Structure 1
């Protein structure tokens, strides 16, 4: 059982570890910069007034006067919501399309295994990068915040990473659907990137407008680092929405691939 998921997961382990270290280094850099930033700008929030309102809305900047707000903007909005969201969508977009394009899928399906199981296990292998990338950074943030005398609550640091996992799985679901719809890996990956980033823009620009409800289709709606780090609010209803979104995308991908003509 789960031979495909185990095989693919093991081959993603090294790259995932490198990515995790890279994100941890990014966190260390953000924390190291913060004291200098605070000293250079006595009222850091006054600096936000120089930014166009559209930029503030696009990146949901709440405050940069505290380390929590600085981390939410500089690390989690850019690093987790945008960069990692795009990365997992891009990486997952190749899990089926690459095997189809290179002719390996026919060999795989010659074994006594269903197409639905292939899709499910290929998606399951994405557990490795999604979990591994979230392992080192919480320790860096927790320890680093204390080294600069701006301690961040351990529960909030843990929550901002744990609650990012359902969000990243939802982004991976977008990539999976692109992977079964398109046979060429490059096209599937470009579509996954475009759709994921497009949903981010869509949700951000519709916030606080009459059409705000339309942004409910975007995974970004349900993961808010500002609420977690600044207010200690954990959106468990959002977690449920992300899990439902992920399950729906996986089931749709399986349905599509089962009926897809590979010839």
Structure 2
């Protein structure tokens, strides 16, 4: 048994959850886009209203968007800035918390590891199982946004939307790697999932609340700092340094997870 066998088996086990999450996200995208025409015609100056929010809330929920009444600005605020970065990212970190800890909890890890596979390959296989999972969810949301905007006779620049989902997919994989590390470190699924979810939520709000303060450097701990959906969808600008940080962080967390699991006593 090699890491790809582990990945295929793990992915097969997650097909039902993938379908459920995809359906929920399709519904979320559909509802969000369906509301836009009435939102656009409401006659309320939402931009002025949002600018009255405290800076921390603006950083968390608005990001770099200056015009929420445009479709791309609206989608960044209502879909990508909050739902994607916080909720979907948190879900993948939480879900990954069971990848290794679940096997230890069920005492099935010993049965797997008696076969000719190292612990490092076992952990890598678990991570690889989440790659197509992230890709599928990413693709489902992308297609849903395209279909939804077409149904309300609106249009987005496809290449910018592809940028959002490309960098967004890397962000989700980084969230998975955090969950994987927590899963390898903790002996119980609930602890691992709680730690992974807490890391995503905690650092997200830490980044937002320390914006323009003397403690802004603490926000560098947040993965969300390295992706700006507003710059991607509205301006078409990619922060390649941020992309590099997401890729390096993902690799680092996976390596650390493998190293932690190698040193664990499963007895």
TM-score by shorter chain over 0.5: yes
Distance in 1 (alpha carbons) for counterparts of 2:12 and 2:90? 22
Distance in 1 (alpha carbons) for counterparts of 2:44 and 2:182? 47
SS, match of residue 126 in structure 1: helix
Report the number of matched residues: 263
C-alpha contact 2:56 2:210 (8 A) present in aligned 1: no
Q: Which of 106, 110, 113 in structure 2 is aligned with 1:106? A: 110
Which residue pairs with 1:206 in the alignment? 210
Which residue pairs with 1:6 in the alignment? 8
Which residue pairs with 2:140 in the alignment? 136
Q: CA deviation at 1:153?
A: 0.5
Q: Which of 186, 190, 193 in structure 2 is aligned with 1:189? A: 193
Q: Which of 116, 122, 146 in structure 2 is aligned with 1:118? A: 122
Deviates more, 1:49-58 or 1:171-180: 49-58
C-alpha contact 1:9 1:127 (8 A) present in aligned 2: no
Deviates more, 1:40-49 or 1:230-239: 40-49
Distance in 2 (alpha carbons) for counterparts of 1:247 and 1:121? 14
C-alpha contact 2:57 2:209 (8 A) present in aligned 1: no
Which residue pairs with 1:215 in the alignment? 219
C-alpha contact 1:44 1:65 (8 A) present in aligned 2: yes
C-alpha contact 1:90 1:193 (8 A) present in aligned 2: yes
1:40 aligns with 2:17: no
Deviates more, 1:196-205 or 1:241-250: 196-205
C-alpha contact 1:38 1:44 (8 A) present in aligned 2: no
Q: CA deviation at 1:50?
A: 4.7
Distance in 1 (alpha carbons) for counterparts of 2:145 and 2:266? 47
Distance in 2 (alpha carbons) for counterparts of 1:41 and 1:129? 41
Q: CA deviation at 1:169?
A: 0.9
Gaps of 5+ in 2: none
Distance in 2 (alpha carbons) for counterparts of 1:57 and 1:163? 19
C-alpha contact 2:51 2:58 (8 A) present in aligned 1: no
Distance in 1 (alpha carbons) for counterparts of 2:54 and 2:218? 24
Pairing of 1:146-185 with structure 2 (within 5 A): 146-185=150-189
SS, match of residue 133 in structure 1: helix
Q: CA deviation at 1:42?
A: 4.3
C-alpha contact 2:73 2:234 (8 A) present in aligned 1: yes
Q: CA deviation at 1:207?
A: 2.2
Q: CA deviation at 1:145?
A: 2.1
Give TM-score, length-normalised by structure 2.
Answer: 0.93
Distance in 2 (alpha carbons) for counterparts of 1:165 and 1:190? 22
Return closer, same or farther for 1:56/1:41 CA change in 2, 3 Å cut-off. farther
Gaps of 5+ in 1: none
